[in-house]
Structures are given as C-alpha cells and as structure tokens.
Amino acid sequence: MRPTAIVFDLYGTLLHIGALRERVRAAGIADADAFVEAWRAKQIEFSWCCSLMDEYRDFDTLTRKALTYVLAAAGHELTPAAAEALAAGWLELAPHDDVKPFLAELQKRSVLLAVLTNGVRASAERALRSAGIRDAFDALLSVESVRAYKPDPRVYRLATAHYACDPERLLFVSSNGWDASGASAFGFRVAYCNRTRKPGETLGYAPAITIGALAELNAFLE
C-alpha cells in the first residue's frame, strides 16, 4: 500500500549531528565525538523531562542548556560568544550523504514529504535551507504547535491531522530508536534508519522495516 505521505524526523535522520564535531574541535575540545554524543543525549533527556513535567521550553533553549551542562561536566569553559557560536551549529548541519539522492528520487515519484521535528519551526526552516533540502518538503511540522516533545502522541498526531489520514497511511522515517518506537506505538508504519547498526530497540514496538541507508526504502515502497 503506497503511503499517503512519508514523514521524516529531522535531527539525526536527515541532518548529520556528527557535523558538529568540527565546531567542537575548533572550540578547543579534544574528544569531539564523546562531547557531541553527550550533548545530544542531554538535549533529548531535557526534552523528555519537559514533556513529563508539562513545562514546555523550546528546543533551542534546551540545546543551549544541554551545552552548558556538558561543558561543565567535561570541565570546559567557553565565553558566552563561543558557546553561542557552538550552539548555532545546529542551524547549519550538513545532510547525511544518502539524503539528497533519496529525496530527489521521491520527488520524481511525486510522493508527498514532510518533516516532523522537535525543533523550533524557524530554526528547522533555517537548518533545512542551509542543508539545501527545504524545497523537497511540502510540510514542516514542529512540536511548538502542541508544546510537547516526541514520543508524546500529540506530536505524531500533527502528521495525521495535516494529511487527514489514519496513522497507518503514513510512513515515518527516523534514525532515533526511541522515536521509531514511539511512532510505531502511535500506529505509523515506521522505517528505522539504523545507519550505525545499533542493537534493535527492545521496548516492544518493532518498526515495519530497519534499513542502513535511505535508498533501501525504495524496494519497500515498491
């Protein structure tokens, strides 16, 4: 069954978070891989805490707060200007190598495409344009509309409301295992793009398909 639309997560799925490593090194932080991983983990942890506390703070704010924490935990000090320059890296992430070719192929097929992101809409818009892929998407859906974060069902419901369809009519693509689980629990058909070959999630909500690169979805779509 051809999906009504394909909905993509943004950070980690379309945009390569690892691209932050060069900025981290430029800031004088030696172990850039570990730093970026810890920053991302704290960013997501804060988003979950805000949802559970029913106390929404936008993703840009959480990103900066997570950076402050990780800098302190690693024993690094940056000037406010340097820290702001580092946080601004989230607005200029490069896409994964497989993203542009796959999106171009989907556009040839006239498939409706959307982004569903935890990010602030204006920031996500800027990041997509910086990556050169904004024009591929007919919709950019942000959690700002519901003031909660994935995997809250209210977030996934933004996509079903936009396309006026049941969850199983949408294919959701994410490289975040927890997001893939949440989307599966909601009822989406889910493609888990596991580029780094992490162990499969064990929460009990299996994706419809697990892939190592976006191009592998072509066979599934056919």
**23 within 8 A of 89, measured Cβ to Cβ:** yes
Catalytic-residue membership of 9: yes
Element housing 116 (H / E): strand 113-117
Biggest CA pair distance of the chain: 53
Name the active-site residue from 9, 58, 98, 179.
9
114 vs 126: CA distance, rounded Å: 15
CB 119 within 8 A of CB 82: no
Three-state DSSP state, 162: helix
**Residues with Cβ < 8 Å from 132, sequence gap 6 or more?**
95, 100
Could you list the active site residues? 9
